[in-house]
């Protein structure tokens, strides 16, 4: 083994050590230049090849090759390690914006409920709550409903074995409010109600109503009409018309049904309004004196009106939904549009 081979082997070992100690790619590049670069140690040593006796040339040449390969391999390995380490750092880049995950939102009926509560709130109505599981007294008896009224039938109303029911309307909240509040009162009570109906495009077994009640001195049908008219304008703008049709409810006298002109077709007739140009939105009327007497209010002094709005019907008009069952299928492609 000649001096040159020894020098090459030493240089290679040195370089590999320095590569192992290098902290970053700049330090690695410095090692490469120092040993393999154009003016580095290896080219320097190879200049001495001329002085090597011919029988040692082959051995010396292969020592150069082995040395270079060792250094290059060590460099490649260190560079690859560096890269994967810095890839790890990138994953921790705290300045990058985070990945957004999908976020839910309020159901369209909840949004619409809140909107109605706000509109009535501006007209002086306070929002109150009532139980979904009711007793017969509040849902029927106190509301002047005769014993043989068809709405009491188990074919129409859900009964529990203990005789309580799932409320079939939000009207029992009227009774609960009159029992507990001093007069005058002006409330709205939004909530879920339950009826044994065969579901179709405009009926469900449970749906939502907003009950309204105003009791004061000298309340008249004109007050009721103006509140309902205002509500319609607030929800749909001045183009919407309202129509009051005579009707009957046990707890109001006189009673009306309250229709909005169909804002989907402008009154011409479409599938939302079943070609009639109108949509039935609410029942309403002047609170029957018998109801006032049932809760100990003197009908000679006090009078009032009540109304019950169907929220799903309102949603159909507002959001142009042709079938209210869409609201409860829980299909995110539908719900995501609100």
Q: Residue 202, interface with ligand PHE (CB under 6 A)?
A: no
In sequence order, which residues have a C-beta less than 8 Å from that of residue 157 and are 6 or more positions away? 139, 151, 165, 166, 168, 194, 195, 196
Sign of the dihedral through C-alpha 124, 129, 130, 132? positive
- Asked whether position 249 contacts ligand PHE by CB under 6 A, the answer is yes
Q: Is 190 helix (H, G, I), strand (E, B) or coil?
A: strand
| Segment lying near ligand PHE (by CB under 6 A), choices 48-56, 63-71, 111-119, 247-255 | 247-255
Q: Quick one: CA dihedral 43, 49, 55, 56, positive or negative?
A: negative
Question: Does residue 244 interact with ligand PHE by CB under 6 A?
Answer: no
> How far is 260 from 241, CA to CA, in rounded Å?
6
Q: What is the distance between the alpha carbons of residues 9 and 328, in angstroms, rounded to a whole number? A: 80
- DSSP secondary structure string for all residues of 250-268: TTEEEEEEEEEE-TTTTTS
The residue within the footprint of ligand PHE, chosen from 157, 169, 294, 303 (CB under 6 A), is 169
Give the interface segment with ligand PHE, choosing from 77-85, 110-118, 196-204, 302-310 (CB under 6 A).
302-310
Q: How far is the CB of 163 from ligand PHE (least distance, A)?
A: 21
283 touches ligand PHE (CB under 6 A): yes
Single residue of 171, 202, 261, 303 touching ligand PHE by CB under 6 A: 171
* 306 makes contact with ligand PHE (CB under 6 A): yes
By CB under 6 A, the count of residues binding ligand PHE is 11
CB of 98 to ligand PHE, least distance (A): 48
Q: Hey, which residues between 64 and 103 contact ligand PHE (CB under 6 A)?
A: none
Nearer to ligand PHE, 60 or 294 (CB): 294
d(CA 289, CA 304): 9
Do 195 and 156 form a contact (C-beta atoms < 8 A)?
yes
- Per CB under 6 A, residues contacting ligand PHE are 169, 171, 249, 252, 255, 283-285, 306-308
């Amino acid at each position: 083994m000649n001096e040159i081979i020894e020098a090459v082997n030493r240089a290679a070992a040195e370089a590999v050590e320095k590569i192992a100690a290098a902290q970053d790619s700049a330090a690695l590049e410095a090692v490469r230049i120092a040993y393999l670069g154009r003016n580095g140690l290896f080219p320097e040593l190879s200049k001495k090849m001329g002085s090597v006796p011919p029988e040692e040339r082959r051995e010396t040449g292969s020592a150069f090759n082995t040395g270079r390969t060792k250094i290059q391999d060590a460099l490649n390995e260190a560079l690859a390690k560096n890269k994967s380490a810095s890839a790890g750092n990138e994953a921790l880049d705290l300045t990058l914006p985070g990945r957004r995950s999908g976020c839910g939102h309020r159901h369209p009926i909840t949004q619409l409920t809140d909107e109605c509560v706000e509109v009535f709130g501006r007209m002086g109505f306070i929002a109150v709550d009532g139980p979904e599981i009711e007793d017969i007294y509040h849902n029927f008896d106190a509301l002047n409903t005769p014993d043989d009224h068809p709405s009491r039938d188990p074919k129409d109303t859900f009964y529990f074995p203990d005789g309580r029911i799932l409320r079939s309307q939000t009207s029992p909240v009227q009774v609960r409010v009159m029992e507990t509040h001093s007069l005058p009162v002006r409330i709205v009570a939004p909530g879920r109600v339950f009826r044994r109906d065969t579901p179709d495009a405009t009926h469900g077994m449970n749906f939502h109503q907003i009950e309204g009640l105003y009791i004061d001195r000298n309340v008249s049908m004109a007050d009721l009409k103006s509140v309902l008219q205002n509500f319609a304008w607030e929800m749909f703008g001045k183009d919407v018309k309202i129509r009051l049709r005579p009707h009957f409810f046990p707890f109001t006298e006189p009673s009306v049904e309250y229709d909005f002109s169909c804002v989907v077709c402008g009154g011409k007739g479409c599938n939302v309004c079943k070609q009639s140009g109108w949509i039935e939105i609410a029942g309403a009327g002047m609170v029957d004196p018998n109801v006032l007497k049932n809760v100990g209010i003197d009908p000679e002094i006090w009078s009032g009106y009540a109304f019950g709005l169907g929220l799903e019907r309102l949603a159909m008009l507002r959001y142009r939904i042709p079938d209210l069952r869409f609201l409860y299928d829980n299909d995110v492609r539908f719900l995501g549009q609100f």
